[in-house]
Amino acid sequence: DAGVTQSPTHLIKTRGQQVTLRCSPKSGHDTVSWYQQALGQGPQFIFQYYEEEERQRGNFPDRFSGHQFPNYSSELNVNALLLGDSALYLCASSNKSRLAGPYEQYFGPGTRLTVT
Instruction: Report residue 83: phi and psi, to 5°.
Output: -55, -35
The span from the CA of 85 to the CA of 29, in Å, is: 28
Q: According to the binding rule CB under 8 A, does residue 103 interact with other proteins?
A: yes
> Is 42 near other proteins (CB under 8 A)?
yes
SS3 84: helix
Least spacing, CB of residue 106 vs other proteins, in Å: 8
Q: Phi and psi at residue 84, in whole multiples of 5°?
A: -70, -5
Distances (CA, A) of 84 to 3, 15, 25, 114, 115: 29, 10, 27, 9, 8
Q: From the CB of 102, what's the least distance to other proteins, in Å?
A: 4
Residues 81 and 30: beta-carbon distance below 8 Å: no
Among the listed residues 43, 74, 76, 81, the single contact to other proteins using CB under 8 A: 43
Q: Which stretch binds other proteins (CB under 8 A): 12-20, 63-71, 74-82, 84-92?
A: 84-92
Binding flag, residue 25, other proteins (CB under 8 A): no
Does 115 sit near other proteins (CB under 8 A)? no
The footprint of other proteins (CB under 8 A) covers 4, 35, 40-45, 48, 55-56, 88, 90, 92, 99-110, 112
